[in-house]
Amino acid sequence: MKYSLPVALLACLASAPFANVANAQEWADVTIKFVLDGASPAGAAVNANADAFCAKQQIPTERLVVDGSSKAIANMVFMIDGKQTKLSGDQIHPSLKDAPSTKPVLDNVNCRFIPHILPVRVGQTIEVKNSDSTSHNAKFVFFNNDEWNQVIPTGGSKTLQIKKAESGPSKVECNIHPWMVAYHIVTDHPYVGISNEKGEIKIEKLPAGVELTFKLWHEAQNKFDEVAVNGKADSWKKGNVKFTLKPGANDLGTVSIKPDKFKP
């Protein structure tokens, strides 16, 4: 009996830190893959003959980029929908709360915008470069920020600061070379994924145990209401899907999309 009081006190002291840990926000990583369920579309050749420099380049069409053998779809955007999921400050990982101090770079390379899709956080400054031996211009179309349209001389660069989140992805165009199109995605959170040439996306340090609404987007999308996940039909109304992630790794599977879900 003489040990009952010290043991009880020790038990209380030992349990307190674990209670705090249990209440702390935990974090999750997400992987997902996108493939085309059908024949890959034949891309139209880019006619760049009006510009002598561009005419010498091999310029692929980028409207729908699908690997011929694996059917992997590049440039799919999978991100937290900021309209439907409002993250509180403690639901953004501490290492990701502040916008990166680095400048996202949109370059003009061989008469293409690189990268084709540019994710940007509010507060960042975009650097627009021109690595080509011909002039380009970059026209950023915004919903909430001021429109920006500048000629970028050969070997030069210009910058623009982003002050507000955008309601959705929007275009960057080169009015000199009309086939040149890119997209920018401006968010006030860091949870944006863009599929690579293997159709793969990984998003890290998301809040676990919280219902999150994700948005699926592609520049050529028709409707993404119907998809298949690991071969099983699923309904993602308007490209939206909800997940509550477990701490650690979360594999959301392989998402197959029919060709008719993309506009020609």
The pLDDT value given to residue 23: 66
Query: Is residue 224 a part of any domain in this protein?
Result: yes
Burial 41-52 (b: 16+ CB within 10 A, else e): beeeebebeebe
Residue 113, beta-bridge partner list: 108
Distance CA 209, CA 245 (A): 6
Q: Which two tokens stand for residue 132?
A: 């080509």
Query: Is residue 14 a part of any domain in this protein?
Result: no
| Cβ-based neighbour number of residue 53 at 10 Å | 15
| pLDDT at residue 7 tops 80 | no
The pLDDT value given to residue 5: 35
Name 102's Cβ contacts closer than 8 Å, sequence gap at least 6.
124
Instruction: Look at the chain and report how many structural domains it folds into.
Output: 1
Alpha-helical runs (H) found in 24-161: 52-55
From the centroid of its chain, how far is CA 47?
Answer: 29
The pLDDT value given to residue 53: 96
The pLDDT value given to residue 9: 39
Distances (CA, A) of 218 to 101, 136, 214: 28, 25, 13
In one letter, which amino acid is 20?
A: N
| pLDDT at residue 19 tops 50 | no
Q: How are beta strands 240-244 and 211-217 bridged, if at all?
A: antiparallel
- How would DSSP label each residue in 17-32? HHHHHHHSPPEEEEEE
Distance CA 213, CA 73 (A): 22
| pLDDT at residue 6 tops 60 | no
CA-closest candidate to residue 85, choices 250, 241, 223: 241
Q: Which residue has the higher pLDDT, 197 or 1?
A: 197
Return the SS3 of 237. helix
| pLDDT at residue 185 tops 50 | yes
Query: Is residue 263 a part of any domain in this protein?
Result: no
The answer to whether the CB of 76 falls within 8 A of the CB of 195 is yes
pLDDT, tens only, 210-221: 999 999 999 999
Query: Is residue 48 a part of any domain in this protein?
Result: yes
Query: Is residue 21 a part of any domain in this protein?
Result: no
> What percent of the chain is modeled with pLDDT above 70?
91
Burial 119-128 (b: 16+ CB within 10 A, else e): bbbbebebeb
CATH of the domain at 94: 2.60.40.420
pLDDT, tens only, 168-180: 999 999 999 999 9
The answer to whether the CB of 163 falls within 8 A of the CB of 145 is yes
The pLDDT value given to residue 13: 40
Query: Is residue 1 a part of any domain in this protein?
Result: no
- Residue 20 — very low, low, confident or very high, per pLDDT cuts 50/70/90? very low
Distance CA 115, CA 109 (A): 10
Q: What is the DSSP letter of 14?
A: H
Distance CA 25, CA 245 (A): 12
> Which domain covers residue 155, as residue numbers?
31-255
Please give the mean pLDDT across all residues of the chain.
Answer: 91
Query: Is residue 96 a part of any domain in this protein?
Result: yes
Q: What is the DSSP letter of 92?
A: S
Return the SS3 of 12. helix
pLDDT, tens only, 23-67: 689 999 999 999 999 998 776 779 999 999 999 998 989 999 999
Query: Is residue 261 a part of any domain in this protein?
Result: no
